[in-house]
Structure 1
Amino acid sequence: MPKIQASTVAEHRAAQRAALLDAARALLSQDPDQIPSLADVARHAGLARSSAYSYFKSRTDMFDVLVADTFPRWSAFVENQMAEAHTPGSRILAYVEANLQLVARGDHALARAMATVGNSEVLATSSRLLHDSLEAPLRAALAEHGASDPNRMAEVIQSIVYALSRMIESGLDLPTATGLARELLTPYVRPAAA
């Protein structure tokens, strides 16, 4: 039996599984168009190929787990950025800017790459849960800000995020994208900040 690198076997297995997921995430971040095999992921994690198969049945299985692991991280990042803002208007801007930061960092491309190899049902469910969990604090900030229809206004804000995300993925730098968002949204959010 191989020597474990943690105080318990369960902790060791959790650490190895996390290392494999981190390796898959890193490989996809380096080249989202090149989907790594389980052997590639194991090698990048410094583990034997057989180790990968003891945690995941297939590459698709691993990417399904990676989708389920990545989307809550995205949501937590956005929620943390919003929580640091002190007014409803600044929370709305924080929502937009946090999402754009993640796109610029490559997380959106990573999610798209995972979608090409993972189970579409897992992706659809995870994506729906992500958007629902992200839009809840946005709708709350919009309601507190005084939006007459927070649900529809959240869709408008989300369309701005989508448009700027596409621009970032086409080469627009993050400061310019953030500047455009601020230029468009500051007149709307300013009354709450005053």
Structure 2
Amino acid sequence: MPKITAPTIAEHVEVREREIMDAAMRLFAERGVRDVSIGDIADDVGLARTSLYRYFRTKSAIIHAWFDATMGPIIDECTAIADDVQPAAQRLERWLDVQLDVLSDPSNHAMIAAALEADDMTDRRQGAIAIQHQALYATLEQILADDRPVDDNVRARTIVISGLLRTLTDLVQHGIPPTAAREQIRVAINAIEPVADGEPRLAAAPNATGRS
């Protein structure tokens, strides 16, 4: 039995699973998911392959666990933002800030790409990840609807914004600074949401140096 390095077995398992997910993220970013084996991940964290199987049996299981660990808190935060009493423009700004924090991290890009490219990803796991994304973008629909029913117009704008966020990922991956990429998202969103109560939907970022 592996040496317990945390106060309880449950905490030990949580720590070890996090180490495995972090190692997988790093290796996927360096080589791509298809060129990384379970054995490579085990070697990186200093485990025998049979020991790693106590935690995850496949790469897709690691990816799925990462999405569960990462997306749950993000969905909770975005739900709280959508339910807030602030004007919709301010809630949209905060919602986008959350997405940028995730999408500007290259390690997260590696796991998102891995979910699309892993050759052992089961339909069940793909479906579970899709449900998480649907829950996330339902909060955006709620913000854009602004206390009105979600109609086709809101759904269309949600799809456009989700596409812009995928483009943001590409920009950051190609070396565009996150602050500059975020400003381009502001410009694009103002093009499809030109005014809110006579004012631009999103205010311009001050000097494009960080969050407004």
TM range (shorter): 0.7 to 0.9
Relative distance call for 1:26 and 1:83 in structure 2 (3 A) is farther
Relative distance call for 1:24 and 1:80 in structure 2 (3 A) is farther
Q: CA RMSD in A?
A: 3.5
Q: Deviations over 1:6-27 (max 9, x none)?
A: 3333332333233222322233
Conserved 8 A contact 1:71-1:130: yes
Q: Where does the alignment leave 5 or more consecutive residues of structure 1 unmatched?
A: none
Matched, 1:137 2:139: yes
Conserved 8 A contact 1:75-1:133: yes
Q: Deviations over 1:62-83 (max 9, x none)?
A: 3343344444355456557778
Q: Map 1:93-172; keep pairs closer than 5 Å.
A: 93-106=93-106, 107-117=108-118, 118-144=120-146, 149-172=153-176
Q: Which residue identity lines up with residue 146 of structure 2 in the other structure?
A: E
Cα deviation, residue 140, structure 1 = 1.5
Cα deviation, residue 121, structure 1 = 1.3
Matched, 1:188 2:195: yes
Conserved 8 A contact 2:24-2:41: yes
Relative distance call for 1:100 and 1:11 in structure 2 (3 A) is closer
Identify the residue that residue 49 of structure 2 maps to in structure 1: 49
Matched, 1:174 2:178: yes
Aligned counterparts of 1:125 and 1:87: Cα–Cα separation in 2? 33
Q: Which residue identity lines up with residue 91 of structure 2 in the other structure?
A: R
Aligned counterparts of 2:162 and 2:88: Cα–Cα separation in 1? 16
TM-score relative to the length of structure 2: 0.69
Relative distance call for 1:61 and 1:2 in structure 2 (3 A) is closer
Relative distance call for 1:28 and 1:50 in structure 2 (3 A) is same
TM-score relative to the length of structure 1: 0.75
Conserved 8 A contact 1:4-1:12: yes
Relative distance call for 1:153 and 1:5 in structure 2 (3 A) is same
Specify which structure has the higher proportion of helix.
1
Q: How many residues align?
A: 194
Cα deviation, residue 154, structure 1 = 1.7
Aligned counterparts of 2:2 and 2:122: Cα–Cα separation in 1? 36
Q: Deviations over 1:78-114 (max 9, x none)?
A: 5577789943112223333432442221223421123
Cα deviation, residue 178, structure 1 = 1.0
